[in-house]
Structure 1
Amino acid sequence: MPFSVSWSTLLEECEELPSDATLVTPNAHKEFRLTDVQEQRIIIEFPDGESRPLQRDQFETLYQRIYEADGGYDLGKLPVGAEPYAAVLSLHPRYEVNEDRGAIIESETATTTQLVDEGAEDEKTERKEPDLDVYADALLLVDALERHEVESLTELETGTLVNLYTLLSDVQRNSNNLRQDVADVLLDRVHHDQPVHSQYGSVQRTSRRNRSLKDEETVLKVLDEAGVDRERVMSVDRSKVDEVLDVVTVPASAVYDIEEQEYVRKAEVNEDTKETRLQGLKDSLATSDEPEAEELREEIEELESRINELTEFRSGQTFS
């Protein structure tokens, strides 16, 4: 289908929108509205009053990139400021922004748009607390990091350092467990030589080989047949040495080079204390009307927005 036909369809869809219809960009999730639809451009306006023209030729370039892409055009390749083009193009019945896949895709079936449905949006953005250990530990860790000057660890009290170490250890263990669970599911969805991209990064399937020797008789027989002297591959078996040391008077230092290294390890976790502190954090943030609580909520939203912006691909103002 030539672009001229798709452009005409897109203009028709834009003209049929209610005047108060709001769209949201992918990645940064910035809202905007259409204020004018012209033959060669579409005018949009952001809540802060900024008005921008979206040019027909840039839509055509995006259209071509989607056509050439295998499996959709990567959202990460959108130039800075180009997100509104993707959002507006989603009004076309054949195009869709799929943020789970991190791509703008073309489809023969009905597609979703970047239109904001107030009721649906509230339901979509409602946060639900996951029943995961790593979630609770991460909240406690963030709280501890914010309450102490962790940039100067040597100045912190010992009890504070113990708390930090315990929480860091718990987050590391539980996040690794969850990471492995996620990897197990992804393994069935990712194919070799086909990286899968998303908002925060990409993954690809790979493989590694683990080798273990066959039994000693088999190995020695193969090497004998190849003319290899057995003495070249025979070595001291550590497990057998340990067995001998258990029944003789030879000290371990006579056969081992021993280097003692001291380290800190987690000995105990006070789960009751963690749970009490965690519930207190949730309750105070949920019910507090204090300016500090509102500021914290705003800081969280700002941080999420900043993370989205930092993960965008920045290559210029136009498609190339």
Structure 2
Amino acid sequence: MTFSVSWHTLLDELDDLPEGATLITPLSHKRFRVTDVQEQRVIIDFEDRDEKRPLQRDQFETLYRRISDEPGGFELDRLPPDADPYPAVLSLHPRFEIDEDEGVIIEKDGPTTSQLLNAEPASETDERSEPDLDVYADALLLVDALERHDVATLSEMETDALVNLYTLLSDVQRNANDLRQDVADVLLNRLHHDRPVSGPFGSVQRTTRRNRSLKDEDEVLAKLEAEGIDRDRVTGIDRSKVDDALEVTELAESDVYDIEESEYVRKADVDEEVKETRLQGLKEQLAATEGEEAEELRQEIEDLEGRIDELTSFRTGAEVHE
């Protein structure tokens, strides 16, 4: 198939785009719309800035030739800077597809996908789904706690409320970090070189961390001595040997260590059953609709939460034995 035929097929696909259709670039993940389709160029408009940009036919032809020359697909990170709208638009052609995991755009004989985002908003009547994630459940509980208490004046909050707040913050932090790492593992395969990739809330960039660890001690000392460096200049006190020595001498730990102690709060236990009960109440609140049944459900939830508060509220030892 000649480029001229492919070009006019692409123009036909662009003419058939629904109004407001949005595409996304594969490298920088910037959103844009096609605002005009002409014989020699395509005009696009980026969402995040007031900028119209022409995409020239001859540049599409160059990209087309490079894809045709690469059986395994053309590597996207070989594109010139700011050229990733071209493969995004070309992906609308029924024979071209972007594989972000592999970082290529490839020509295929079968069905393909495009960089076109769903232009139709989700129906308000669609059933609401809840992600089966620990961080979601804990975040929901945390939001509820933040709405119930004035955290701007922590010193005035009751101790039990502070304990609950600290526990939830700790759980959200741990579970969010686990999910963050899972997201990072997937993103790593989609980021190319040092090009930032942007989203609505921010941007990320692939970076390289350099870690160092010494080789075998004898090998290092031998190489340094060969360069005229006395081994006494680079050898130090082995902490593990000092600890062993303390065990067989009358020296105190403070005789050989500078010790600085600090106190901190540590989460000791989590009552998962209470959390699950509260969470279920919140989910029912979210799912409740208007009407008499909804009002009865809300009242039942309030009564249940009141009993939970009474059972889990903080009491001193004196109060317990009264």
Q: Same fold (TM over 0.5)?
A: yes
Residue 109 in 1 paired to residue 113 in 2? no
**Aligned CA distance change for structure 1 residues 150 and 272 (closer, same or farther; 3 Å):** same
DSSP-derived class of the 1:202 partner: strand
Q: CA deviation at 1:196?
A: 2.0
Show the counterpart of 2:107: none
DSSP-derived class of the 1:151 partner: helix
CA contact (8 A) 1:74 1:103 kept: no
Q: In 2, distance between residues paired with 1:124 and 1:143?
A: 25
Show the counterpart of 1:238: 239
Show the counterpart of 1:48: none
CA contact (8 A) 1:193 1:204 kept: yes
Show the counterpart of 1:210: 211
Residue 153 in 1 paired to residue 154 in 2? yes
Q: CA deviation at 1:213?
A: 1.0
**Aligned CA distance change for structure 1 residues 133 and 221 (closer, same or farther; 3 Å):** same
Q: CA deviation at 1:201?
A: 2.1
Q: CA deviation at 1:24?
A: 5.7
1:226-265 map, 5 Å = 226-265=227-266
Moved over 3 A (4+): 8-14, 23-27, 63-66, 102-105, 110-117, 123-127
Q: In 1, distance between residues paired with 2:186 and 2:131?
A: 18
Q: How many residues are matched? A: 222
**Aligned CA distance change for structure 1 residues 231 and 115 (closer, same or farther; 3 Å):** closer
CA contact (8 A) 1:223 1:229 kept: yes
Q: Which runs of 5+ in 1 are unaligned?
A: 18-22, 28-55, 67-72, 83-101, 295-320
Q: In 2, distance between residues paired with 1:265 and 1:242?
A: 27
Q: In 2, distance between residues paired with 1:259 and 1:238?
A: 17
Q: In 2, distance between residues paired with 1:147 and 1:103?
A: 47
1:40-72 per-position Cα deviation (integer Å, ceiling 9, x unaligned): xxxxxxxxxxxxxxxx9x858xx7664xxxxxx
**Aligned CA distance change for structure 1 residues 268 and 113 (closer, same or farther; 3 Å):** closer
Q: CA deviation at 1:115?
A: 5.1
**Aligned CA distance change for structure 1 residues 255 and 115 (closer, same or farther; 3 Å):** closer
**Aligned CA distance change for structure 1 residues 249 and 12 (closer, same or farther; 3 Å):** closer
Q: CA deviation at 1:233?
A: 0.8
1:203-235 per-position Cα deviation (integer Å, ceiling 9, x unaligned): 221101110111211111011001011121111
Q: CA deviation at 1:125?
A: 6.0
Show the counterpart of 2:309: none
CA contact (8 A) 1:74 1:197 kept: no
Q: Which runs of 5+ in 2 are unaligned?
A: 24-33, 53-83, 95-113, 296-322
Q: CA deviation at 1:113?
A: 7.4
TM-score normalized by the length of structure 1: 0.59
The letter for the 1-side match of 2:48 is G
In structure 1, which of residues 77, 100, 103 is the aligned counterpart of residue 49 of structure 2?
77
Q: In 1, distance between residues paired with 2:212 and 2:46?
A: 38
1:63-86 per-position Cα deviation (integer Å, ceiling 9, x unaligned): 7664xxxxxx7543346xx9xxxx
**Aligned CA distance change for structure 1 residues 250 and 13 (closer, same or farther; 3 Å):** closer
**Aligned CA distance change for structure 1 residues 235 and 113 (closer, same or farther; 3 Å):** closer
The letter for the 1-side match of 2:223 is V
Q: CA deviation at 1:12?
A: 7.2
1:34-113 map, 5 Å = 66=44, 75-78=47-50, 105-107=88-90, 108-109=92-93
**Aligned CA distance change for structure 1 residues 125 and 288 (closer, same or farther; 3 Å):** closer
**Aligned CA distance change for structure 1 residues 24 and 12 (closer, same or farther; 3 Å):** closer
Residue 130 in 1 paired to residue 131 in 2? yes
1:121-171 per-position Cα deviation (integer Å, ceiling 9, x unaligned): 339964321111100000000000011001111110111111111100110
Q: In 2, distance between residues paired with 1:123 and 1:243?
A: 68
CA contact (8 A) 2:140 2:279 kept: yes
DSSP-derived class of the 1:76 partner: coil
TM-score normalized by the length of structure 2: 0.59
Q: CA deviation at 1:288?
A: 4.5
Report which structure shows greater RCO (CA 8 Å, sep ≥6): 1
Q: In 2, distance between residues paired with 1:26 and 1:113?
A: 5
Show the counterpart of 2:276: 275
Q: In 2, distance between residues paired with 1:188 and 1:249?
A: 57
Q: In 2, distance between residues paired with 1:249 and 1:65?
A: 82
The letter for the 1-side match of 2:198 is H
